[in-house]
Amino acid sequence: MITSFIPILAVDILGSVAMVIIALLALYKARILRELDPDNAVFLYLLWISTGLTIFSVSRSFGHILRQFLILSSNAEAWQAISAYTGSINTVSFMLVGLITLFFNQNWNINEKILIGRKKLEGAHIELMDLNQTLEHKVIERTERLTSSEHKCRRIFEQALDTILVTDSEFKILETNPAGIELTGYPRDEMIMKKMTMGSFFASPSE
């Protein structure tokens, strides 16, 4: 029983063309994914592996179609001469796919370490932000306490019935309260501008 060669030829040629079309579509989709997320290592791997498979499919399909054409045109000797070249291209294409996979494995490990480091940095950043907010709240709280304390001291200073005089190390008047102005009879600005001392309020320097 002799089987027709035409179905086998059709399957070989149509399969080769379909393989090229599928490989090109995969490469096209991989490029779209890569453009959507350039930092995604998986999409980068898909782009590389699709490129390698496209090279292999084009080489293999071209070799099959050329083989069938040469055999049908009674040039089988020519095919024998170039078959080694097409086979070597296929071999190189497969090696390229394998190398891409091995390289991606190393690249993926590095990417994992980078992601872990990034997560740690993000965690540290969040902690620093929390500490900074806590510090800001403490500063605001202490500033409010200090302001409140200052207001209390100012009220005591202003409303005290006793004379209060604030001086420097040489006893020059720096500040006085209303009771001091009433007792001494000197205006506050005059005491400060004239740099009056404690001794200015005594009739005799010996006092």
pLDDT in tens, 115-128: 788 888 888 888 88
Q: Angle at Cα 71 formed by Cα 14 and Cα 65, nearest 5°?
A: 30
For residue 64, give its domain range: 5-105
Residue 122 belongs to some domain of the structure: no
98 and 177 in a single domain? The answer is no
Q: Tell whether 80 is covered by a domain.
A: yes
> Which H or E run contains 99?
helix 76-159
Domain shared by 99 and 166, yes or no: no
Does residue 194 lie in a domain region? yes
Answer whether residue 137 is part of any domain: no
Q: Verify that 167 and 88 share a domain, yes or no.
A: no
Is 171 found in the same domain as 100? no
pLDDT average, residue stretch 38-42: 77
Helices and strands, counts by H and E, the chain: 5, 2
Q: Select from 90, 105, 120 the last residue of a domain.
A: 105
Q: Give the pLDDT score at 195.
A: 85
Which whole-number Å values give the CA distances from 196 to 157, 165, 166, 204, in the listed order?
20, 11, 12, 15
* Residue 169 shares a structural domain with residue 101: no
Task: Report CA 37 to chain centroid distance, whole Å.
Answer: 15
Residues 78 and 166 in one domain: no
Tell me how many domains the chain contains.
Answer: 2
- Do the beta carbons of residue 27 and residue 51 sit within 8 Å? yes
pLDDT value at 30 more than 70: yes
* pLDDT for residue 72: 67
Residues 95 and 167 in one domain: no
- Residues 54-58: what's their mean pLDDT? 79
Portion of the chain with pLDDT greater than 90, in percent: 3
Res. 97: pLDDT tops 80: no
Q: Hey, how many other C-beta atoms are within 10 angstroms of the C-beta on 129? A: 10
**Same-domain check for residues 98 and 190:** no
Give domain status of residue 63, yes or no. Answer: yes
Residue 114 within any structural domain of the chain: no
Same domain assignment for residues 20 and 84: yes
- The pTM score is 0.43
Q: What is the pLDDT of residues 132-162, one digit of tens each?
A: 888 988 999 999 999 888 899 888 888 888 8
**Cα-Cα-Cα-Cα dihedral sign, residues 187, 190, 192, 194:** negative
- What are the tokens at 20? 């090229």
At residue 188, does pLDDT exceed 50? Answer: yes
CA-CA distance, 49 to 65, in Å (whole number)?
24
Considering the domain boundaries, does residue 139 fall inside one? no
Cβ atoms of 134 and 157 within 8 Å: the answer is no
Given a cut of 70, whether residue 5 has pLDDT beyond it is no
Please indicate, yes or no, if residue 147 is contained in any of the structural domains.
no
In this structure, are 78 and 12 located in the same domain? yes
Same domain, 91 and 179: no
Do 97 and 165 fall within a single domain?
no
